[in-house]
Amino acid sequence: MGKLKLFFIVLVLTFYPIISFGQDIHFSSFNANPMMLNPASTALGGSMFRAGTMYRNQWETLSKGYNSYLLSFEALAYKNRIRRDGIGLGINFMADVAGTLSYGQQNIGLSLSYFKAIDLNKEHYISFGIISNTSSWGYNQSNSIFGREPEDNEGVLLSEIRTFDIGLGAYWQIKANETHSIQAGTSLLHINQPSLSYYENSDITLPMRLNAYVVDHIMINFDHSISPSILFQSQNNFKELIFGMDYNINISETSINQQIISLGAYYRTLDAMIIMVKYKQDNIGCGLSYDINLSGLTPASKTYGGVEIWLLYSFNPYGYKRSKTSIPCPAF
């Protein structure tokens, strides 16, 4: 009963900040790279190293659409089995290119997390994280056409902008009982709101972005489980709500090797239906998702929303001694 009460307290604290706030590169497979969603998830898991990559193509039928890329690497820098805590480090490279102007951004992010088990059985974890990003924003001037004199550029003085920002995150996970493992997290990015203006106008800034999510991994039996989840994102006046569920099938032939196939269906409100398929074998996970556009853009997009592919690999160096009870990986 105490664990259930604690879950609802965290749930309220997670979603309460949503009321206080008004888009960045984002992926429909938000569960494929935990560090990108929340710096507090950096290097959480049973392995010492983790590397991942993602690619998204969206709205290709509309002027070349959007192409987004992500590459990440995480390392467990410190772990104390007696104190049941640790420190994770991570780095990510992200890029986005859109339209005939090739407008987009290139980003390098560095993240740091501190996590601790708050019970002796290591089934209850909390984690806090911080991330710093340096980004370059720009467009291809040779493809641009301005309405007034060419040399005037309508007052646009820059074709490239550089920004630096920081973000914070918190994460909580508990094994409530033999069939339920609950996760919740929140992160606030671009806290310093750097200037993002191609004019001499510092009032145009990069707005803060809030992420908040809750996941419940529910075991049906040894071979079948479900993972319902909900994600809310808010940035300035733009808000996004995604909710759905994965159905996980254990196809392992032995208890030593792990093989899981997941089929997922999610809905992004007022925008798209998201269909996913995932495969995990031991420390390697991969997935494919497709957005079916259901918004008012349907006549132009022909229901084509976006396709994503991703790969996540966890590994340990030779001779690394893994503890009997390792830190649970934030898996949705």
Tokens of 282: 């031991």
**H helix or E strand, kind and range, residue 9:** helix 2-15
Report the alpha-carbon distance of residue 301 to residue 88 in Å, rounded. 41
Question: Domain for residue 154, yes or no?
Answer: yes
Question: Domain for residue 200, yes or no?
Answer: yes
Q: Which domain holds residue 161?
A: 2-241
Q: What 8-state DSSP symbol labels residue 61?
A: T
Report the alpha-carbon distance of residue 176 to residue 46 in Å, rounded. 19
Q: What CATH number is associated with residue 21? A: 2.40.128
Residue entry with tokens 């089995």:
81
Report the alpha-carbon distance of residue 177 to residue 121 in Å, rounded. 12
Total structural domains within the chain: 1
Determine the 3-state secondary structure of 144 from DSSP: coil
Residue 26: count of CB within 10 angstroms of its CB: 18
Question: Domain for residue 130, yes or no?
Answer: yes
Per-residue confidence in pLDDT tens, the chain, 332 aa: 444 444 433 343 333 333 333 368 878 998 898 898 999 999 998 889 999 999 999 876 666 678 999 999 999 999 998 889 999 999 999 999 887 777 889 999 999 999 999 988 888 999 999 999 999 998 877 666 665 555 555 555 567 889 999 999 999 999 988 899 999 999 999 999 998 887 766 688 999 999 999 999 999 998 999 999 999 999 988 999 999 999 999 999 887 888 999 999 999 998 899 999 999 999 999 999 999 988 776 665 666 778 999 999 999 987 665 554 445 555 54
Report the alpha-carbon distance of residue 177 to residue 74 in Å, rounded. 29
Residue 3 phi, psi dihedral angles, 5° rounding: -65, -40
CA distances, 301 to each of 57, 60, 115, 125, 239 (Å): 13, 8, 43, 43, 21
Burial class (CB in 10 A: 0-12, 13-18, 19+), 299: exposed
Tokens of 16: 């309460």
Report the alpha-carbon distance of residue 97 to residue 64 in Å, rounded. 9
The residue type at 26: H
Report the alpha-carbon distance of residue 303 to residue 293 in Å, rounded. 4
Q: Do residues 51 and 34 make contact, with C-beta atoms less than 8 angstroms apart?
A: no
Please report how many Cα atoms fall inside a 13 Å half-sphere around the Cα of residue 222, on the Cβ side.
6
Report the alpha-carbon distance of residue 26 to residue 250 in Å, rounded. 29
What is the value of pTM for the model shown? Answer: 0.83
Question: Domain for residue 322, yes or no?
Answer: no
Report the alpha-carbon distance of residue 44 to residue 53 in Å, rounded. 17
Question: Domain for residue 52, yes or no?
Answer: yes
Question: Domain for residue 248, yes or no?
Answer: no
pLDDT of residue 45: 85
Report the alpha-carbon distance of residue 33 to residue 70 in Å, rounded. 9
Q: Do residues 133 and 167 make contact, with C-beta atoms less than 8 angstroms apart?
A: yes
Question: Domain for residue 294, yes or no?
Answer: no
